Amino acid sequence: MSPSAYLCVLAAGAAVVAIWIHVRFPRLGPESFTGTLVCAGVALLGMNLSGSFAVQLIGGASRTTLPFTLVCFVFLPLVVLLLTVIWIMRAATTMGPGVR
């Protein structure tokens, strides 16, 4: 499997897990739009930090620890980021009328 195909499958899997979490636990997200934006900031910061940390680990990772590194430092932060996007869309649709 090529690296680009692997990343596409990884991203699609993260999207499916994020959708499943949203459907299975609908009250898990923040209640207010401000809380949603705070979650988005934390998710972006976590994705940025985990991405730079993963690059350092992947450079020195062996073949046995590489899948674990990818799951911990790429897949899980991507799930959180996509779940936050779902929460932003939910918060934006539940805002009152006249808000643009």
pLDDT on residue 61? 63
Task: Provide the residue ranges of all domains of the chain, joining segments of one domain with +.
Answer: 3-93
Confidence bin at 54 (pLDDT 50/70/90)? confident
d(CA 24, CA 13): 16
Q: How far is CA 65 from CA 43, 46, 50, 55, 71, in A?
A: 25, 21, 16, 13, 10
Decide if pLDDT at 17 tops 80: yes
**pTM of this structure:** 0.79
Residue 93: pLDDT band with limits 50, 70, 90:
confident
Calculate mean pLDDT across residues 37-51.
Answer: 88
Q: How confident is the model at residue 52 (pLDDT cuts 50, 70, 90)?
A: confident
